[in-house]
A and B are shown apart, each in its own frame.
Chain A
Amino acid sequence: AAGVIQSPRHLIKEKRETATLKCYPIPRHDTVYWYQQGPGQDPQFLISFYEKMQSDKGSIPDRFSAQQFSDYHSELNMSSLELGDSALYFCASSLVGGNTEAFFGQGTRLTVV
């Protein structure tokens, strides 16, 4: 079965650069979530989209933005990168009206140097 696809898997950026992470949800899933997980930390919710509209917002810095496109894929844009942004970034998808189980991608490991 198709899973959540994230790209790239690894990304190295310098401070103050920008980064774009992509997420392709499971087909027919209508909700996408973004999470950030620092080293040894629990996943922190950043933002979610339902049917291409922002549905919930967590601890997402103002330097970050995200959107969901007509084909339901989502992109997380990160600007003015800081060393503290180094983390695993996970995307998850689920189906509203289903069991709300969220299925996670393998994540993008962002390293800011």
Chain B
Amino acid sequence: SQQGEEDPQALSIQEGENATMNCSYKTSINNLQWYRQNSGRGLVHLILIRSNEREKHSGRLRVTLDTSKKSSSLLITASRAADTASYFCATDGTGRRALTFGSGTRLQVQP
């Protein structure tokens, strides 16, 4: 069964707009990570947030984590057409280092 559920499943925005994707998970975690995947390609690591962190930034990316709600969000600001991809959250839980992926959000940025 999937650890994470992502919301929305698909998102279409215009270039320059912000994109927000949400992820929920079920069990206790050590870290939560966000990955990007272009169609049929490998997964690219974007950002890792630890369970004791609430917010993290990396360039145009902003990730929040709410462990009380078991949820995380990924915000991409000033989106570009090149941001078009699927975005996955992944968690590693206590006692298991292997990442469990959510179902992903397909982001389409229209030029």
Contact = CB atoms under 8 A, between A and B. Distances in A.
Interface in A22-48: 31, 33, 35, 41-45, 48
Interface of B: 2, 30-31, 33, 35, 40-45, 48, 88, 90, 92, 96-104
Given A55-B97, A56-B96, A102-B99, A88 B30 contact: no
B89 to A, nearest CB: 10
A96 B97 contact: yes
A39 B33 CA distance: 22
Contacts, number: 60
Interface in A91-109: 92, 94, 96, 99-107, 109
User: Interface SS of chain B: helix, strand, loop or mixed?
Assistant: strand
17 contacts: A35-B101, A42-B88, A42-B103, A45-B101, A56-B98, A90-B42, A92-B99, A96-B97, A100-B31, A100-B97, A101-B33, A102-B33, A102-B99, A103-B45, A104-B44, A104-B45, A107-B41
A42 B82 CA distance: 21
3 smallest A-B Cβ distances: which pairs? Answer: A104-B43, A106-B42, A42-B101
Contacts of B42: 90, 104-107
